[in-house]
Structure 1
Amino acid sequence: MNELKTDSGDNATGTTKPGRVTGIGRVLIMVYGVLALAATGRSFVQIVGKFDEAPLAYTLSALAAVVYIVATIALINRGQAWYRIAWITIGFELLGVLVIGTLSLVDPQLFPHDTVWSVYGRGYLFIPLVLPVLGMWWLARHAPERAGGTGAAA
């Protein structure tokens, strides 16, 4: 895991600020990576083998896979642009889990087969529900320094 990039660098006070890819951040990135692989594999099998049975559910599983892949990449990379992309993808993930999770309970016929986000990620031990909350917390605590030395709180 030494190849992961960090945001370490000197800030205006001359001290080194740890990046997002340290400690719990590494665990968060690993979980996102595993979920990206799992969702990608699941959606591939669903779409190739039985897409006609539940096209909406399987398309949403593929969308979830893309969201997890982009979120993983955004969490690994540094800089303001990747930080924003991480916020956008993780925010979209939380919205998706809440909307699809609620709809799958309110109108189960809408999703005859589970998606990654059905019943708030029940098929994935509710990790899809908890992960974006942890991701947002982590991002809020590890904002990159802005140009000019006026960075967000660490």
Structure 2
Amino acid sequence: MAEPGTARSRTNAGPGRLLIAVYLLFAIAASSRAAVQIATRLDEAPLAYLLSALAAVVYIVAAVGLARAGHTGRRVALACCALELAGVVGVGAFSLARPDLFPDETVWSGFGSGYGYIPLVLPVLGLAWLRHTRHPDARKGPLLTPGA
């Protein structure tokens, strides 16, 4: 049985490193894009640009949570992945239903179509990784347990 902190239970080991790198890449891309859009043309599409900024914050915090690998990091990563999934599905559906409110794309609009749908897949991979790396004693219980 793997102990907490072993490679099996750590979110920042193995494929988790690639997941963290993708989150960091999206954090940089979304932050940069949102900063430029907010600074130069916020009045054109305020909802879209502010949602891109929110997505950037979620990506940054998720990457930190995954990189920390402890109990708190797992909880933070779980919350971010869940928020991200809800955001990309909610904003994706809303942007298709009300395109007039999205004159410019966000990271999450169109279910992440402007980013190759990676924003839709990324939180699913994050949640799957968190489930895969949880402590073996927690396999039959909730996704996160104290000490995992």
Q: Which stretches in structure 2 are left out of the alignment for 5+ residues?
A: 140-147
Letter in 1 for 2:84: E
**Which residue does the alignment assign to 1:85?**
76
CA distance in 2, matches of 1:17, 1:137: 16
Letter in 2 for 1:54: A
CA distance in 1 between counterparts of 2:98 and 2:65 reads: 34
- Whether 2:16 is the aligned partner of 1:30: answer no
Q: Does 1:53 align with 2:44?
A: yes
CA distance in 2, matches of 1:17, 1:124: 31
Offset at 1:17? 4.5
Q: In the alignment, does 2:66 pair up with 1:75?
A: yes
Q: In the aligned structure 1, how far is the partner of 2:79 from the partner of 2:3?
A: 26
Q: Post-superposition shift, 1:11? A: 2.5
SS state at 1:121 partner: helix
Higher normalized helix content (fraction of residues): 2
* Amino acid in the other structure paired with 1:26: R
- Flag the structure with larger Rg: 1
Inter-partner Cα distance in structure 2 for 1:62 and 1:105: 20
Any idea what the Cα deviations from partners look like across 1:23-55, whole Å, max 9, x if unmatched?
A: 211111110010000000000010001001011
Q: Distance in 1 between matches of 2:34 and 2:113?
A: 16
TM-score (norm 1): 0.83
Distance in 2 of aligned mates of 1:17 and 1:77: 13
C-alpha separation between the residues in 2 aligned to 1:114 and 1:123?
7
Change (3 A) 1:121 1:99: same
- Relative to the length of structure 2, the TM-score reads 0.86
1:128 aligns with 2:109: no
> Per chain length, whose mean CA-contact separation is higher, i.e. which structure has more relative contact order (CA < 8 Å, sep 6+)?
2
Partners of 2:112 and 2:48 in 1: how far apart? 13
Q: Structure 1 unaligned runs (5+)?
A: 1-9
Structure 1 residue identity aligned to 2:90: V
Compute the RMSD of aligned alpha carbons. Answer: 1.8
Pairs aligned (count): 137
Amino acid paired to 1:35: F
Tell me, in whole angstroms, the C-alpha distance in 2 between the residues paired with 1:49 and 1:11.
50
